Amino acid sequence: MTNELRVLLVEDSEEDSLLLIRELARGGYKLDHLRVETESSMRKALQERSWDVIISDYRMPSFDALGALQVLHETGQDIPFIIVSGKIGEDLAVAAMKSGASDYLMKGNLARLVPVMERERREAGERRTHRVTQDAVRRGKAEWESVFDAVSDLIIITDADGVVSRCNGRVNAYFPGGYGSIIGRRIDEIFFGSEQPERKVFRFLHMQGETEEDIRFPNLSGWYNVASYPMRFEGSDRAGFVFIIKDITKRREVEEEKRTSDRELLTLYAVAFRLQYTKGVEKVMGDLLFQLHNMLQMDFSCIHLFEGERLRMRASLGLSDAFEKTMKSLAKDAPWSMLALAGRPFLGEEPDARFPAKAKSAAIEMGLHSWCTVPLKIGQEVMGAMTVGTISERSYSDRDVFLLCSIAGQLAVLIDNYSLYDKMKEKAEELYRSKMELKENLQKVKRANIELGRLNTAKNNFIGIASHELKTPITSIMGGVEFLLKYSGIPMTPEQHSIFVSVYEGTVQLRKLVEDLLSISRIEAQGPLAQKKPSNLMQLCREVHDLFTLPLSERHIKVEISGDESSIPVDEAFAMLAVRNLLENAIKFTNDGGEVRLTGKVLKRAKLKEIAPIVRQFYSSFPNGVASGDSYYLLQVSDNGIGIPPDERVRVFDKFYGVGDIAHHSSGGTAFMSKGSGLGLSIVRGIMDAHEGVVWVEEGKAGGSTFSLLFPMS
């Protein structure tokens, strides 16, 4: 087993260094060594690593052992320093030892190297252990002294005769002279001076623990508690004592404050309990005065209220007949009434000029000494005043006045409530009558709503049945007229042909009206139940376009269909009906030779913010109300026709609403010239509601109108 050894060699000769390394290796060490020969390289080695021993030549061309010792001392490290030299005089060796070298050896006698090195390492370890121990002792002492001085209580140590030998820093807060005025004096003299306490707190040295009672010292303000504990001094058989003197002034103040607060809270609770009576205001005021006498040790009290132009006494307790008679009724302009009207408390130690003359004499005869009057008011309105008094020399403090004002405020509210009680009762009766009338009216409205629902159901049933029954004869009429016009070959006069054309167009319009009525009846009856499946809306638009091939060719209207071919979950029948209604309107309101464009694209949800200002004209809560998802499909039908006035764009989706007169529905000369039923766009909106989407219209880029359908893609 070999020991690891970190050796710093201060040597200019590599051969001598090898001899030293070989000698240490023979001693059983596993070496980690470094050779330096200049001051800078030695400083760097000491900074970068830690070393177990330094072996130095005494003299080198650019450095020497004394310089190396100086460098080591500057770092503050305690590392054994051994000088190994070829030749060194005794005086030089002594100087080196005085400079801090651990030992010195001759290069010709290296046999002592290992024992010397082991001895020095052992002594260095002992020195380090000693330093650590001393540091711990000093730190512990400093910490104990810091804690001793940081304690908030006075700590005083005395000998057996009570002479102070030590105290903590807290004495500076209580004695202006600090330590100098305490050390060496008797403790009872410090706290009691020349006066001797009856119980001699500091003389019962055989007692241990706290004093049973709180103490006041003549030389200090406040209240204190004293605890004493015996202790032994090292090297002495006589006992000393530790006195811990705790300042409990704040605790006493808190306790006194608590007692006062408890008394006030108990008074307020009792007053509040009395003020809950509903036996009349006179009874309440009498009970209140009785409670004040019991809780606050009052001898006299009375309550005045303003009634018209006078201040009248409404309740009293403890007053003499003469005083009560003189204070029974006071004019509003009397000094006492004016003081009460000011809305501020006023008080005194004796009856004075603020009392009416006769009342002052009666008060003196009654024995009134201290008195206080507080206003009864709500907000800035003064309702009266409450006066209390005693025959003792007690003075009313600000706290007493505040408590009385609080009680007076509660009483004022109660009096005001009593004055409003009759009005509230009358209003309650009136409210009850109104409630009964409202209940009767609600019953009428409920019956009317039931009847309205029945009629609406009957209407929808009638429209559904009538429309369904009308489809068959309408189809027969359309087929017969179309056959006569196009395939019969029967010669007709221009007048006859015009009549048949009018009949055919009227029948087409009637069929469209019947289909719209069937659609709107279905929506109103139960709402469209969309049966969604993936569909290509662009292909669906092309299928709808094929239905209008003939009228489009007659009017030379160009229709362009282009857009994203993605599959969208929609009800194909509903979607086709919506596109058909929009395309039919576009053809109707576009002049011959015009253009209609059907486009589609996918929008991310973030894009909804950009279109929100326009869509909210039609759906105020947009984008709330549309199905949530990551993507949406926007299908737009645009034309360059006559357009829709801005103030009518929202209303076009109402049932049976048509824009303007018949002139607005005659943009063409060959087809689609009649005014519609006003149901087409209402049906479109119902279909979009079924898809949890939205529909809106705005002015097109090339004039005309652009209708937009927004379908959720999930």
Round the average pLDDT of the chain to a whole number and report it. 81
Q: Are residues 180 and 230 in the same domain?
A: yes
- Is 345 among the domain residues? yes
Residue 266 reports pLDDT greater than 50: yes
Q: What's at 71, amino acid-wise?
A: V
For the record, the structure tokens of 160 come out as 């057996």
118 phi-psi bin (left φ>0, alpha ψ -120 to 50, beta other): alpha
50 with 164, same domain: the answer is no
Neighbours of 75 (CB within 10 A): 12
Asked if the structure places residue 451 within a domain, the reply is no
What's the pLDDT score for residue 322?
92
Is the domain of 70 the same as that of 119?
Answer: yes
Would you place residue 202 in the very low, low, confident or very high pLDDT band (cuts 50, 70, 90)?
low
- Is there a single domain that holds both residue 275 and residue 173? no
Does residue 325 have a pLDDT over 60?
yes
DSSP 131-198: HHHHHHHHHHHHHHHHHHHH-SSEEEEE-TT-BEEEE-GGGGGT-TTGGGGTTTSBHHHHHHTTPPPS
- Is 437 part of a structural domain of the chain? no
CA distance 104 to 96: 8
Q: Is residue 511 one of the residues assigned to a domain?
A: no
Residues 6+ apart with CB under 8 A from 511: 471, 474, 475, 478
CA triple 294-297-302, angle to 5 deg: 80
CB atoms within 10 A of CB 380: 6
- Indicate if 308 and 398 belong to the same structural domain: yes
What gap in Å lies between CA 623 and CA 681, rounded to an integer? 21
Residue-wise pLDDT tens digits, 89-139: 666 767 777 777 777 777 767 777 788 777 877 887 787 888 788 878 788
* CATH code, 285: 3.30.450.40
Give the span between the Cα atoms of 567 and 544, in whole angstroms: 17
Q: Give 229-241 pLDDT, tens digit per residue.
A: 887 766 666 678 8
Residues 6+ apart with CB under 8 A from 46: 8, 71, 72, 75, 77
The identity of residue 514, as a single letter, is: V
Q: Give, in order, the Cα–Cα distances in Å from 50 to each of 65, 121, 124, 587.
A: 19, 14, 14, 97
Of 423, 444, 479, the residue at which a domain comes to its end is: 423
Residues 167, 21: one domain? no
Q: How many structural domains is the chain composed of?
A: 4
Are residues 603 and 672 both part of a single domain?
yes
Please report which helix (H) or strand (E) contains residue 254, including its range: helix 249-274
564 close to 600: Cβ distance less than 8 angstroms: yes
**pLDDT > 90? residue 180:** no
Beta pairing partners, 303 = 315, 386
Of the pLDDT bands very low, low, confident and very high (cuts 50, 70, 90), residue 667 is very low
Residue spans of alpha helices (H) in 275-395: 281-296, 321-326, 335-341, 357-366
CA–CA gap between residue 575 and residue 581 (Å, rounded): 10
531 shares its domain with 412: no
Instruction: Give the confidence band of 204 by pLDDT, cuts at 50, 70, 90.
Output: very low
Categorize the per-residue pLDDT at 664 as very low, low, confident or very high, splitting at 50, 70 and 90: very low
- φ and ψ of 284, to 5 deg: -65, -45
| Helix H or strand E encompassing 538 | helix 537-547
Note the pLDDT of residue 236. 62
pLDDT tens-digit readout, 558-616: 999 999 999 999 988 888 889 988 998 888 888 888 999 999 999 999 899 999 999 99
Instruction: Let me know whether 230 and 316 are in one domain.
Output: no
pLDDT at 432: 87
pLDDT at 401: 87
pLDDT reported for residue 1: 38
Question: Could you tell me the residue range of the domain that residue 399 belongs to?
Answer: 259-423
